[in-house]
Amino acid sequence: MIWFTEYWTENVGLTVKADQVKKIRSKYQEILVLDTPQFGKMLILDGLVQTTEKDEFIYHEMLAHPALLMHPNPERVLVIGGGDGGTVREVLKHSSVKEVHLCEIDEEVILISEKYFPSISEKLRDPKVKIFIEDGNEFLQERQNYYDVIIMDSSDPVGASEVLFREEFYRKVKSSLRHDGIMVAQTESPVLQEEYFSKAYREIRKVFRNVGVYLAYIPTYPSGMWSFTIASDFIDITDTTRNIEKVKELKTKYFCDSIYACLFSLPRFVQDIL
């Protein structure tokens, strides 16, 4: 057993007791798989916790379901990043979805997830899913007016993910969406990464007419308080009565109708950052 620490800032971190299961260096990053008594297996990229068996459902459900519910008929969905497969698994819970494209820059993440995280990656080989091993930023260039929902399941805005938090990128997202398309992104912690969070919000605002922020509690991410930013030009994404009857049909463990109904109720300090 070792002790592993993700340093959330220079002054605080998350430390877990773990067995090291696998460590490789891919073309893009260091990929580490730990087996921990507390959180089950954990996937760590360049020292940052991406997902754990124990709490992954919170993040993946909250990233996928609001946008898919707000869209009147989501058929074509793109996930950028998310090579572990958790977001794809949630997207496929919506029966209207006909095709899911997953654009992941690092194939090794997919292979590691398929080997060590079968319950997260289980739907990656579903016939509706098409995997593209490409840079998300370049991938969007070739697709105009195509998707109903685009989901950014990226890591922190450092290294390969940095471009995914910029205005130019969100413009590409917008032109790859159909006119009533919706995008949603994971946008970091408003407590410990206030700058990343408010920058993402600002840049998304420059590009889309309707923008909303919501939160979820994710124990293994910095501070636990995590943000998501959802946006659309055409759809009023703040109307959380939309398709609320469908929530009951979704097999989820965190997301539910009362969370959906109050999705945009934010603590005052978060409202003040926006």
> Which residues are tagged catalytic?
153
One-letter amino acid at 22 equals K
- Tell me if residue 158 falls in helix, strand or coil: coil
Q: What is the nearest approach in angstroms of ligand AG3 to the Cβ of residue 42?
A: 10
Nearer to ligand AG3, 29 or 87 (CB): 87
Point out which residues bind ligand AG3 (CB under 6 A). Answer: 6, 48-51, 82, 84, 86-87, 153, 155-156, 186, 221-222
Q: What is the nearest approach in angstroms of ligand AG3 to the Cβ of residue 59?
A: 6
Residue 223 burial by Cβ neighbours in a 10 Å radius (0-12, 13-18, 19+): middle
Taking each helix axis as running N to C, give the angle between helix 194-207 and helix 167-176, from 0 to 180 degrees, rounded to the nearest 10: 50
Q: What is the nearest approach in angstroms of ligand AG3 to the Cβ of residue 91?
A: 12
Q: What is the nearest approach in angstroms of ligand AG3 to the Cβ of residue 142?
A: 24
CA 94 to each of CA 1, 6, 90, 147: distance values in angstroms, whole numbers, following the listed order: 41, 34, 8, 15
Nearer to ligand AG3, 51 or 176 (CB): 51
How many C-beta atoms surround the C-beta of residue 17 within 10 A?
12
- The angle at the Cα of 184, spanning 8 to 252, to the nearest 5 degrees, equals 85
Name the residue among 34, 43, 29, 24 with its Cα closest to residue 3.
Answer: 34
One-letter amino acid at 34 equals L
Tokens of 252: 């989820």
Q: What is the nearest approach in angstroms of ligand AG3 to the Cβ of residue 144?
A: 26
One-letter amino acid at 204 equals I
Tokens of 247: 């929530």
Nearer to ligand AG3, 121 or 240 (CB): 121
Nearer to ligand AG3, 149 or 235 (CB): 149
Nearer to ligand AG3, 94 or 235 (CB): 94
